[in-house]
Amino acid sequence: MVALTSKDTYDVVIIGNGALGMGVAYNLRKRDPSISIAVVGPSHRKGGATVAAGAMINVWAEMAAGQYDNPALADRAELTVAAMELWDNYCADLSEFTEKQLEVKWGTYIVNNALGSPHEMKAVDYIVELMQKRQVPHQILDPGDVPFIKPEQKGQPIRIVRVPDGRIDSRMVLSAYERFFAVRDVDLFDDTAERLQVGLKLPFVGADKTITLASGTTLKTKALVMASGSFSQALIDQVPDLRREVPRLVWGAGSGLDISLPPWVHRYGGLDRSVFDIDAVIRTVDRGGACGVHLVPYGNGEFYLGSSSGVWFEPEAKPRVHAVHVLLRSLVEEINYAFFFATMSVRGPGFRPVSMDTFPLLGQSHIPGIWFANGTKRDGFTCSPYLCGEIANEILGGRSSLPKRFLPSRSLISYKTAAEAIEDYVAADFGGEVQHGLNLPPYALEPYRNMKRAKIKEIYDKRKIQNFGIHPELPHLYDNDEFFAACDHKREIE
């Protein structure tokens, strides 16, 4: 890449200062010290997914039953597997720019308990089978083997599996990027991109993309990276050819809670002190489309509890009561009753970028020089070392090993077959409602599922969709006429 030299012109402009945007800039600079790079994003990162997260390095605990039976789902899972292998060296390199050594603390406890749905049992069965097949180190533990998991009686654990997933504070990673940029000549604009103009006349050469910031500053570039999550949609909409070809991004809202054991507990006790011994993430598996309840220990009685999840057509500035209620109830009922006395504050909401098929948007679009590091849902931080390195390689003229099926200019990818997607919706809906207090007698389960099955089939019929599988988190966007008109996109099969 030949460097541009104008003060307001950059070789690469990256919109978004979360894990993916900062990661792409970091990898570009590491590979080529000569090019000019700008990263645009407000320093408060309000609504950003990275800062609202705990954050976990999720790989094996995120596997869904039958994940590798579907090629697209298998490809998405492999992104996390590839990234997991990079994290330790990635942290070692970044630690040159931190006061405290960056490191992933590995280990996660997956819990099946009496409050979970059959869907959760099936998911953990699959995770164990998959790890055994691939010779991934893990432990199947009896509930008594983990003394700090002490829930209320109704949430007693049935099975605990320790997997090699990890955790690291995402805010420390972002801070390390910022320090690196300060000494390696990457310009940070504490601003918001509001307008995008793209020169669409052939040939595509030079700085033909102009970004106007909220402050009035204009930046020109020949390589633009869309890495601001769902916020990118406002820019995409300004380029009709891009809006037409790239699946729409919607808002995967999620909030977490910062949990603290108050000073009197530290001084006087009064609780079972095993709660201070929590040494790894404790979590359930997927629940109704969310990543399950998860507790991330920071040490010294400080924790992150996450997280709520919902996919919306428009962002909501505040978390919903029912979402926070489920988290608080799960903390005491499913993890440790000592948290009844904890204090809390809300973190978020953050908006996970969810495409209209829930698969990521990675690489160069059909418009040369417009790149995407987006649509990663809740896997963006986990995958960032791998995704950002591959995208940086390709921007610089090299090759990328990212799956071509996830290129941003594409048709919607079917979530399994339509029949399988419908059954997954029924299972996910039931799992979510159980967490909100649904308690049905055994004879009512099948009638309930039949009712939900009929409802989702009505949506398929309404939109004349026969073979395409709608992801279980998205049917409400297909059901609402206004949302569907905005989100409808060509599908790989009908």
Q: Is 356 helix (H, G, I), strand (E, B) or coil?
A: coil
Amino acid at 64: A
pLDDT at position 205, please?
53
* Cα gap 408→14, rounded to integer Å: 16
pLDDT at position 289, please?
64
Q: Where does the pLDDT of residue 309 fall: very low under 50, low under 70, confident under 90, or very high at 90 and above?
A: confident
Q: pTM of the entire structure?
A: 0.94
Considering the chain, what is the average pLDDT of its residues? 92
Q: What is the arithmetic mean of pLDDT over 180-191? A: 97
Amino acid at 277: D
Q: pLDDT digit string (tens) for 367-409?
A: 999 999 999 998 999 999 999 999 999 999 999 999 999 999 9
Provide the 10 A C-beta neighbour count for residue 3.
Answer: 11
Contacts of 141 (CB under 8 A, 6+ apart): 109, 159, 160, 161, 162
Amino acid at 127: I
* Cα gap 94→178, rounded to integer Å: 10
pLDDT at 358 over 60: yes
Q: Classify strands 218-226 and 209-213 as parallel, antiparallel or unpaired.
A: antiparallel
pLDDT at position 4, please?
42
pLDDT at position 3, please?
41
Q: pLDDT digit string (tens) for 244-261?
A: 999 999 999 989 999 999
